[in-house]
Structure 1
């Protein structure tokens, strides 16, 4: 099973360590394998043109490099796509935090008029596929339906965790971070970034108002879920509307708008270096920025 994240406090800041996946029982492994195949299957969308992987590229960063991905109708989605990696540790899912569990998130996404617009057609397609029907029967004792499809997807997504150098450092491996990254972590805490970006995912566990001290601009709700900073160095562009293209730029905007700080160039470089220590690995390979595909 997926080991729970270790929790501790680092100089008063609650932090968590992401653990690697231990050996799975065969029944859970079969469910995860089914979910993995569903994640990449375009039959899951009404148009047969989109899969979960269309917006969540597991070969790169668990998202894309577009400001806005496009849904079933070809129209831009409302928000920039967050990475799917480590989402199992999020308090709420999506920028507006409308769902609490990966299963509910999958149900909502599949049924969304703007994303997959499934309306249970995918269950009919998989039921008509003898091989897929047999796999659902093996795992669930029943054929495919909206609930079992979402459950299999959630089981797979729960395995998408990316341990990073920062996790090794928290466990006591002081060589895991460079001196600059350690300085960046200290500055990250002193500046107040950790007041919102803490916990296992360094974020994604509370809501916050945008532009507390200075307006950020752009359209969108005033209150949004604080995003996780894990893999942030490879998941540009940034913010709910993808308005900032660079990591240093995002650091400066957040410092001014949320903390009323104008950071020195050296501080920005050090914090950016620390954030790069949050870039993890998946299947033994470091995550990387996705290429821009329009």
Structure 2
């Protein structure tokens, strides 16, 4: 069996870099994983043991957590980097590593990402997928609230959030970072809508129970920001099909796949982005009551009427502080 202490660290890191590059990991993820791999090699060599064990990895994680004050998400990233080194580069299979990762997931509570990790996730996405994930994080939207957005819900500096029946529930910030991309996105959708109208289609599913004037379903303002497939009513085969929003499951899979591509591992979801939105605002000094209001969480302190732009200092979305896409 190959012993870790007998390996040339520079050669091991070179092999790991090539492996990560072949798998399409972003530059930021590669730098982070290679850094932790080097740290583990040095830690193991200082122990004077021939082969690493799961308790050694646990001790290394504890040492990193104490010295660098890592979050739970940060410790999971360290563990994934070490597993890549041991399992994929050296071909070692240590009993207990999967259980250790499970412990980190169970003990972590709500998963939170750092701004850098959010940037890494978003950098793996393009087009409407990037826009959707940026709104979940940048506006604190639930995933279903995001896919359910209609054109009429997008205002110049804010988003109107409605329930399944179309009733207005709250307002939240429209991030500066997404304003130009969403404008371009809506322009493309409008051209497609005009073509569909000319072909006799262009209708969308309306909220249940809505008493709407004839032609409302074909109105531009009622179109979905993230359109999905068209559906035909089997009971009304002569009625043109109507378009629905992108399926929530599809949007969820897109974000979770982006998290994996960014090397963030299992457990990161749309809810993680929303939780991180709240955490990053609070870390910047935004009042908890104001954060709860943006999230749509009812509490005595968040009941007051306040728009994202009110007050002397309008609330800045955390996505606006990230590196430009």
Max Rg structure: 2
* Class of the TM-score when normalised by the shorter of the 2 chains: under 0.3
Structure richer in helix, relative to its length: 2
Q: TM-score, normalised by structure 1?
A: 0.24
Q: TM-score, normalised by structure 2?
A: 0.22
